[in-house]
Chain A
Amino acid sequence: MSRQAALDQVEATSSVSSETLVRVEGCTKHFRRGSEEIRVLEKLDLEVPKGEFLALMGPSGSGKSTLLNLMGGLDRPTTGSITVAGERIDQLSRPKLAAWRARHVGFVFQFYNLLPVLNAERNIELPLLLTHLSRAERKKHVETALEIVGLSHRQKHYPGTLSGGEQQRVGIARGIVTDPTLLLADEPTGDLDRKTGDEILDLLQALNRDHGKTIIMVTHDPHAAARSTRTLYVNEGRLRAEPVE
């Protein structure tokens, strides 16, 4: 079965449930730059149901990445709470938070952020090093992830010898290899041409529909946002359902 056929097949079965996976409540995030205080998010609320493919849009510098990082446990809110799958991640200690990330989130970055010294296979394996899986088990997981992103023939290639689209596929494979609760993507198509970007979006869409992955994607491209099941707009520290003109 071709990937497109697979996509067509899952088209009908939208998997958004009523169960809330991510709950952001009254979240404020301020940064200090010298003596200046930058207020990025202001008492922001957000609920992401399990199985959703949420797109976050908004002008550059509006705080999209900041919000995404908070939900992925890469940073902590100044005030407010963040609950993911019933767990208050804003209250976890640094080591606990790291372990939580390893178990629950996959990240996909705009510039792929692969380790140049590792080949595709070993880049994808990285998050698995933190598990108790045996070498053989890790290899199986990596192969499955490679298959899902359609890159089995490139497993021994180093990032430098892969195209942008291929590197992003490796990035996505690394993001999903641990079968995380949540997949977070920060402008995953931002560095790709339209056609390659579309292929990556196809893949994310398939992961959402086919594999039931909850995905939150930051983008400033309406074309990309159109692939999501819901789009929200970050503006002046708040979320809106409609873009501000």
Chain B
Amino acid sequence: MKFLRLVGSNLKRKKIRTLLTLSSILVAFVLFGYLAAIRQALSQGVDVAGADRLVVRHKVSIIQFLPESYEADMERIEGVAEATHATWFGGIYQEPQNFFPQFPVKPEEYLAMYPEFLLPEDQKQAWLKSRTGAVVGRTTADRFEWKVGDKIPIQATIWTRSGGQRTWEFDLVGIYDGAEAGTDTTQFLFRHDYFDEARDMARGQIGWYYVRVEDPDKAAGVAAAIDNEFANSPAETKAETEGAFVQGFADQIGNIGAIIQAIVGAVFFTILLVAGNTMAQSVRERTGELAVLKAVGFTDAHVLGLVLTEAVTIAALGGFAGLGLSWFMISAGDPTGGLLPIFFLPRQDIVIGIVLVVVLGLLTGLLPALQAGRLRIADALRRL
């Protein structure tokens, strides 16, 4: 403690220099935290995908429809627990940039398929009673300040209503929360029966199926059995685990995760050199003072420890402030306004950040500290 005060006084020696070093470390850690959230967002579903869920889409592409009748066929296949479907609605709320995903679904089946969507029981009952009812995730509800009871008008881009009408109006009957940090709480869900009856084309067609398998270990076999079932039919399928399905999307964006890691790596390498050099310089300027400390009885280990503590303190002040700031910025929400629905700083990256802070401090302080520890008093005093 008494030595920490000494470290503290040294930090105040050249305030501007300390501040600049702190800031550069802070910026590095803000970047680290923020990019970690983006990387997480891009790989989103992969981590949270249920291992027991399959996604079954048209063999040619996701934008081609499958017959609604497949559901019953699939449920007859060995190893399938249940199947339900969703369709891409792609409507616009007020303005195109207000993006959030909208799906017509079968309420009970969908909620059963996604137990991580937490909808209060009374709201679920209300949804089952109201054909025009819709539920929405907390993130989107907060974003547009929607409350249960609101009427939400959505402009169709694909699905006009019979008679060519574009506006669909839904009654918001529920707001769901996510059971985990990674749960997608941006979805807007409404009833497929209402949708199917009101749309003016492709009735009886749906976008894709979700299938729950009885045994996750046999998921691959069940997927093959499903594809086999519909082989040589007009609408052949491609079944894969939810994880693989989401990964497919992520791969289309390119290997952004690797690019982000490279950027963070380069930034940290630069900061290491900058902070290390500053630390070395600050110790070099203090050679005489360190010699005086040794003259009055500080051991080599004391002096080494002081310098190392100073470096770690600088890294900790800048690093933790940076992590904190990035966390704060991330909690302000998805910067793209909807494209990255799952936006948070994963706990794992917080831990990595803390480890990085300590490692950075030790690395920047190591050489100067060793040098200070080895310093010969008589030589150093002569050079004053």
Type the 1/0 row for A98-116, where 1 means its CB is closer than 8 Å to any CB of B: 1101110011010101011
**A107 and B296 within 8 A (CB):** yes
**A113 and B289 within 8 A (CB):** yes
Chain A residues positioned under 8 Å from B13 (CB to CB)? 116-117
Q: Does A74 contact B (CB under 8 A)?
A: yes
Looking at chain B, what size class is its interface with the partner chain? 20 to 34
Stretch of B2-10, B142-150, B180-188 lying at the A interface:
B2-10
Known contacts A101-B295, A102-B297: does B9 contact A117 (CB below 8 Å)? yes
Could you tell me the distance between the alpha carbons of A122 and B10 in the complex, rounded to whole angstroms? 13
Stretch of B42-50, B230-238, B254-262, B298-306 lying at the A interface:
B298-306
**B296 and A126 within 8 A (CB):** yes
Stretch of B98-106, B352-360, B376-384 lying at the A interface:
B376-384
From the candidates A98, A118, A122, name the one contacting B299 in the complex (CB within 8 A): A98
**B378 and A113 within 8 A (CB):** no
Q: Does B174 contact A (CB under 8 A)?
A: no
Q: 8 Å CB contacts to B: which residues of A63-112?
A: 65-66, 69, 72, 74-75, 94-95, 98-99, 101-103, 106-107, 109, 111
Chain A residues positioned under 8 Å from B377 (CB to CB)? 69, 74-75
Could you tell me the distance between the alpha carbons of A171 and B149 in the complex, rounded to whole angstroms? 79
Chain A residues positioned under 8 Å from B297 (CB to CB)? 98-99, 101-103, 127, 130
Closest to A102 in B: B297
**A122 and B9 within 8 A (CB):** yes
Chain A residues positioned under 8 Å from B300 (CB to CB)? 94-95, 98
B222 to chain A, nearest CB (A): 69
Q: Does A153 contact B (CB under 8 A)?
A: no
A69 to chain B, nearest CB (A): 5
Chain B residues positioned under 8 Å from A174 (CB to CB)? 296
**A130 and B384 within 8 A (CB):** no
From the candidates B3, B288, B382, name the one contacting A129 in the complex (CB within 8 A): B3
Closest to B378 in A: A75
**B2 and A117 within 8 A (CB):** no
Q: Does A135 contact B (CB under 8 A)?
A: yes
Known contacts A69-B378, A122-B9, A135-B2: does B298 contact A113 (CB below 8 Å)? no
Chain B residues positioned under 8 Å from A122 (CB to CB)? 5, 9
From the candidates B10, B288, B301, name the one contacting A113 in the complex (CB within 8 A): B288
Chain B residues positioned under 8 Å from A126 (CB to CB)? 293, 296
Type the 1/0 row for A42-54, where 1 means its CB is closer than 8 Å to any CB of B: 0000000000000
Chain B residues positioned under 8 Å from A130 (CB to CB)? 296-298, 302
**B3 and A111 within 8 A (CB):** no
Chain B residues positioned under 8 Å from A98 (CB to CB)? 294, 297-300, 302
Known contacts A95-B300, A109-B381, A118-B9: does B295 contact A74 (CB below 8 Å)? yes
Known contacts A127-B296, A130-B298: does B289 contact A115 (CB below 8 Å)? yes
Chain B residues positioned under 8 Å from A69 (CB to CB)? 377-378, 381
Closest to B382 in A: A65
**A115 and B292 within 8 A (CB):** yes
Chain B residues positioned under 8 Å from A94 (CB to CB)? 299-300
Could you tell me the distance between the alpha carbons of A113 and B288 in the complex, rounded to whole angstroms? 8
Can you sample 20 A-B contacts with CB below 8 Å?
A66-B378, A69-B378, A72-B295, A94-B299, A95-B299, A98-B298, A98-B300, A101-B297, A102-B296, A113-B288, A113-B289, A113-B292, A113-B384, A116-B13, A117-B9, A117-B12, A118-B9, A122-B5, A127-B296, A129-B3
Task: Given contacts A113-B292, A126-B296, list 17 more A-B pairs with CB under 8 A.
Answer: A69-B378, A69-B381, A75-B378, A94-B300, A95-B301, A98-B298, A98-B299, A99-B299, A101-B296, A101-B297, A102-B297, A107-B292, A107-B295, A107-B296, A118-B6, A127-B297, A174-B296
Q: Which residues of A contact B (CB under 8 A)?
A: 65-66, 69, 72, 74-75, 94-95, 98-99, 101-103, 106-107, 109, 111, 113, 115-118, 122, 126-127, 129-130, 135, 174
